[in-house]
Amino acid sequence: MIIARSPLRISLGGGGTDLRSYYRKHAGFVVSAAINQYVYITISEAFWPLIRLKYSKLEEVETVEQIHHPIIREAMKLTGVTGPYLDIVSLSDIPAGTGLGSSGSFTTALLAALHTLQRRFVGPRELAEEACHIEIDVLREPVGKQDQYIAAFGGITSFEFLPDDRVAVEPLKIPSEALANLEDGLLLFFTGASRSASEILRHQDSKSKEDSSEMLANLHFTKQLGVESRDALLAGDLRKFAELMDVHWEHKKRRSPGMSNGSIDELYELARVNGALGGKLVGAGGGGFMLLYTEEKTRLRHAMRGKGLREVRLQFDFGGTTIVAHS
């Protein structure tokens, strides 16, 4: 049996500038952090001449071409795994569609497991590029590159997405005390709504391709916020980082009509008056998780739990995509 896992992520600055429609013209910049919530893939030998897949659905097929799940089908093609006599199971700590980059984590974990099955070691950069190739080039999903890269590399990392498709990767050397305070002060609450990011991302993608001056100005500003967020973290200035999160959220809401709604705005305002120095929805928006930074954890937790929100305690993951068992 092979067990692979990839961390989910929280975006800390610059999100949205990792889409190809933007970075190929202007270069993108994102700061992202991997957290201790995971997607797991297990691969084991089956007793029947079938490929059996267990995710949110159950599939039993005889050939790779018959697989309905597009990412599994294309990952098996890319790695040359043909089956049969194969069981592939996917498990996740957090449901999909909640803004934590689950698709990129799923794809990198799956590729790592399939390569291990073929007795190949693949490093994080190659793993991330293969995952991007499947999701963006083959399946034409309107997604960026940060999710695959942060899942593969882990840590708190900045990524510069260059017009020639290269990605510059910089693990952030945050002072140890500031790192501990950052991990301690970041609170993650589920808003109670999941959503597909595709519609919001397609809107941004199409506006960027049209060279919409409003969209491009928003993304240029967001990229600068990402750079300033990195600098604040490296300097250990967490209050400045929190202020930038707040500014980022205000500009993110203007990017697409589906980014927020009345209930989310009310929750954010409640958080602000109860000790949140800054925050935003993670992911494309429209639902999922609200990330907040505070120096008054007890007060903020009490207020958000009073609205029925569930907290997910987070720690940073510095391992990235790993093989946790191979027998």
Task: Report the run of H or E that residue 182 belongs to, with start and end.
Answer: helix 176-185
| pLDDT tens-place string over residues 120-178 | 999 999 999 999 999 999 999 999 999 999 999 999 999 999 999 999 999 999 999 99
Cα–Cα dist 311/275, whole Å: 16
pLDDT for position 263: 87
C-alpha angle with apex 35: 31 to 39, nearest 5 degrees? 115
Provide the residue type at 101 as one letter: G
Examine the pLDDT at 200 and tell me if it is beyond 70: no
pLDDT at position 196 is 53
Q: Do 125 and 197 sit in the same domain of this protein?
A: no
| pLDDT at residue 305 is higher than 80 | yes
Region 16-20 average pLDDT: 94
Q: Assess whether pLDDT exceeds 90 at residue 325.
A: yes
Provide the pLDDT for residue 306.
95
Residues 127 and 262 in one domain: no
Closest residue by Cα to residue 36 from 188, 179, 192: 188
The per-residue pLDDT for 286 is 61
Question: Based on the domain organization, do 212 and 301 belong to the same domain?
Answer: yes
* pLDDT for 59: 97
Q: How confident is the model at residue 198 (pLDDT cuts 50, 70, 90)?
A: low
The pLDDT value given to residue 212:
77
Question: In a 3-state reduction of DSSP, which class is residue 30?
Answer: strand
Query: Where does the pLDDT of residue 259 fall: very low under 50, low under 70, confident under 90, or very high at 90 and above?
Result: confident
What pTM, to 2 d.p., does this model score?
0.93
Mean pLDDT of the chain, nearest integer: 92
CA distance 219 to 15: 9
Q: Are residues 260 and 139 in the same domain?
A: no
The single-letter code of the amino acid at 224 is Q
Q: What is the pLDDT of residue 251?
A: 86
User: Which amino acid belongs to residue 64?
Assistant: V
The torsion angle over the Cα atoms of residues 238, 187, 7 and 25, rounded to 10 degrees, is: -50
159 and 194: one domain?
no
Same domain, 304 and 192: yes
End-to-end CA distance of the chain: 5
Residues 123/288, Cβ–Cβ less than 8 Å: no
Work out the pLDDT band at 83, boundaries 50, 70, 90.
Answer: confident
Number of domains in the chain: 2
Q: Are residues 214 and 294 in the same domain?
A: yes
Q: Are residues 186 and 156 in the same domain?
A: no
Same domain? For 107 and 126 the reply is yes
In this structure, the answer to whether residues 138 and 72 fall within a common structural domain is yes
More confident: 293 or 191: 293
Range of the structural domain that residue 212 is part of: 176-312
Asked if 196 and 104 touch (Cβ cutoff 8 Å), the reply is no
Residues 84 and 230 in one domain: no
Task: Report the range of poorest mean pLDDT among 33-42, 127-136, 191-200, 260-269.
Answer: 191-200
Q: What CATH number does the domain containing 190 carry?
A: 3.30.70.890
Distance of CA 303 to the CA centre of its chain: 27
Do 280 and 243 form a contact (C-beta atoms < 8 A)? no
Same domain, yes or no, for 192 and 152? no
Report residue 253's pLDDT band, with 50, 70 and 90 as the boundaries: confident
pLDDT digits (tens, 9 = 90+) for 19-32: 999 999 999 999 99
CA dist 124 to 108, 112, 161, 192, Å? 9, 9, 16, 33
CA distance 225 to 245: 8
Residue with tokens 């997405």: 161
pLDDT confidence bin for 192, thresholds 50/70/90: confident
Q: State the CATH number of the domain containing residue 74.
A: 3.30.230.10
Which pLDDT band, with edges at 50, 70 and 90, does 254 fall under?
Answer: confident
Local confidence band at 262 (pLDDT 50, 70, 90 cut-offs): confident
Q: By percentage, how much of the chain surpasses pLDDT 90?
A: 81
Characterise 206 by phi-psi region: left (phi > 0), alpha (psi -120 to 50), beta (else). Answer: alpha
- Could you read off the pLDDT of 268-301 as tens digits, one per residue? 999 999 999 999 988 755 678 999 999 999 999 9
